């Protein structure tokens, strides 16, 4: 069977040149399936995880359409495409991809999110752009101020729609949809397909084609997962001991709380380990500086909250350390999926104190994987309550102690994201 090439997909010539300039020869499965259908103008429901190439799958057809129907060389530009993303980091990443693939076309984009000065970008929006890439909350703010006109819009993309729902953005998305032209191409991409996404697709899409790509192997198949049962007060000491191993070359550490991310990063720096923290309270400049330093190898460790790290696609991550276990088991899967990509192996290390045992049980139930207990460190439980190796168990026939779980994934996340997203909006860049 002949291998499919990008040149076989029907992309406009300027877009093909841009793809070749990035040394892309063969499309990924999601690109091979999605691009021809999108070029025909179909609405689409795409099921694909981060790292599968889905951004190019929807950006390249949009650019191809603009190449066949370019904006006027003179006069005001009109917004032709709107891409919605749940987080600023993902919005910026998409904007970078648009800029890279549009090098052969003179197009302008606005990447909109909270945390930076509004005035200079507002002036640029008034002059006109072709693309808007935005988080929902900031987009609504700008719409209310009259900076955006979608009367010429022909394409809207909802990226990581499942995360948008998790973060409580569904009502904002509906408000945005209400002002968009009825005649448009609508694309919805999601890593998972819960009932809520199915309902959303029926509401926003018209006769969509469904494209689903399952990775050849899930991250869990190639990630070694271990857990340390440790007292909360000893987690930092254990972390430094683990990071003394130089084979942990590029590490993401996850915490639940923003203040904890700061404390862990500062503790590591005092211990002589290069580290930086990213979370919703960091300025956009600080977050981008930290991400660049991590990507470039200037720092070894990135300490992040779930929200700040969502959508970040960084190659070469060797280890993920869960300094604090998430209170939603699905977040654990997203976290450890940062490593073990592109066929490489990876390692995920979990710290579990007494207050997190229920979270660990939920994670093992969801993944179907019993984490290997390692270490002989400072455990936080009596010996008779553990199996050999330190795994906590409930005595046979003992009643389960009722635990008030903090299932604050949606509401707490919503407050954090909207608070940061409500700042002044983001960057506007010319694509040349």
* Residue 24 pLDDT level (bands cut at 50, 70, 90): confident
Question: Tell me: the pLDDT tens digits for 201-227?
Answer: 999 999 999 999 865 555 577 889 999
Query: Is the pLDDT confidence value at 276 over 70?
Result: yes
20-34, 222-236, 405-419: range with lowest mean pLDDT = 405-419
Look at residues 152, 186, 215 and tell me which one is the last residue of a structural domain: 215
pLDDT given at position 301: 97
Chain-centre distance for alpha carbon 352: 25
Same domain, 177 and 303: no
Q: What is the mean pLDDT of residues 310-331?
A: 85
Q: How many CB atoms are closer than 10 A to CB 92?
A: 22
User: Is the pTM above the cut of 0.75?
Assistant: no
Residue 275: which domain range?
A: 219-385
Query: Is the pLDDT confidence value at 327 over 90?
Result: no
Q: Percent of the chain having pLDDT more than 70?
A: 83
Bin 311: left if φ > 0, else alpha if -120 < ψ < 50, else beta.
Answer: left
Q: Percent of the chain having pLDDT more than 90?
A: 53
* Residue 242 pLDDT level (bands cut at 50, 70, 90): very high
Residue 431 placed within a domain: no
Strand 372-373 and strand 428-431: pairing? Answer: unpaired
DSSP 8-state symbol, 392: B
Q: What is the mean pLDDT of residues 106-126?
A: 83
CATH (domain of 258): 3.40.50.300
Same domain, 200 and 235: no
Cβ proximity of 200 and 170 under 8 Å: yes
pLDDT given at position 403: 41
* Residue 125 pLDDT level (bands cut at 50, 70, 90): confident
Q: What is the mean pLDDT of residues 135-157?
A: 93
Residue in 281, 279, 53 with CA at minimum distance from that of residue 291: 279
Query: Is the pLDDT confidence value at 260 over 70?
Result: yes
Same domain, 126 and 168: yes
Same domain, 252 and 323: yes
pLDDT given at position 342: 60
Q: What is the mean pLDDT of residues 397-408?
A: 40
């Amino acid at each position: 069977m002949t291998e499919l090439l990008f040149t076989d997909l029907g992309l406009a010539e300027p877009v093909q040149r841009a793809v070749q300039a990035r040394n892309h020869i063969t499309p990924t499965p999601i690109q091979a399936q999605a691009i021809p259908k999108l070029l025909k103008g179909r609405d689409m429901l795409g099921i694909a995880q981060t790292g599968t190439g889905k951004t190019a799958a929807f950006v390249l057809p949009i650019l191809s359409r603009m190449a066949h129907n370019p904006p006027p060389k003179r006069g005001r530009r009109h917004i032709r495409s709107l891409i919605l993303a749940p987080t600023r980091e993902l919005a910026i990443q998409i904007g970078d991809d648009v800029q890279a693939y549009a090098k052969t076309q003179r197009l302008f984009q606005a990447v909109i999110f909270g945390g930076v000065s509004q005035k200079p970008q507002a002036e640029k929006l008034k002059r006109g752009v072709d693309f808007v890439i935005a988080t929902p909350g900031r987009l609504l703010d700008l719409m209310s101020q009259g900076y955006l006109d979608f009367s010429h819009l022909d394409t809207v993309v909802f990226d990581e729609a499942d995360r948008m729902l998790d973060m409580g953005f569904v009502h904002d998305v509906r408000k945005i949809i209400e002002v968009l032209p009825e005649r448009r191409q609508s694309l919805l991409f999601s890593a998972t397909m819960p009932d809520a996404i199915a309902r959303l697709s029926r509401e926003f899409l018209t006769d969509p084609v469904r494209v689903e790509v399952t990775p050849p192997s899930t991250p869990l198949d190639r990630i070694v997962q271990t857990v340390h049962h440790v007292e909360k007060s000893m987690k930092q000491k254990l972390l430094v001991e683990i990071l003394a191993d130089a084979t942990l070359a590029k590490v993401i550490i996850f915490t639940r709380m923003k203040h904890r991310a700061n404390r862990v990063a500062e503790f590591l720096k005092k211990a002589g380990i290069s580290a930086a923290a990213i979370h919703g309270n960091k300025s956009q400049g600080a977050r981008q500086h930290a991400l660049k330093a991590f990507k470039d190898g200037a720092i070894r460790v990135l300490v992040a909250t779930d929200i700040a790290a969502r959508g970040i696609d960084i190659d070469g991550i060797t280890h993920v350390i869960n300094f604090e276990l998430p209170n939603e088991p699905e977040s654990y899967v997203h976290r450890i999926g940062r490593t073990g990509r592109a066929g490489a192996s990876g390692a995920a290390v979990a710290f579990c104190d007494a207050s997190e045992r229920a979270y660990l049980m939920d994670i093992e139930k969801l993944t179907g994987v019993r984490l290997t207990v390692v270490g002989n460190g400072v455990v936080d439980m009596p010996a008779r309550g553990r199996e050999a190796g330190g795994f906590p168990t409930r005595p046979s026939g003992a009643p389960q102690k009722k635990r008030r779980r903090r299932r604050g994934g949606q509401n707490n996340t919503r407050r954090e994201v909207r608070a940061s997203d409500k700042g002044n909006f983001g960057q506007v860049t010319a694509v040349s």
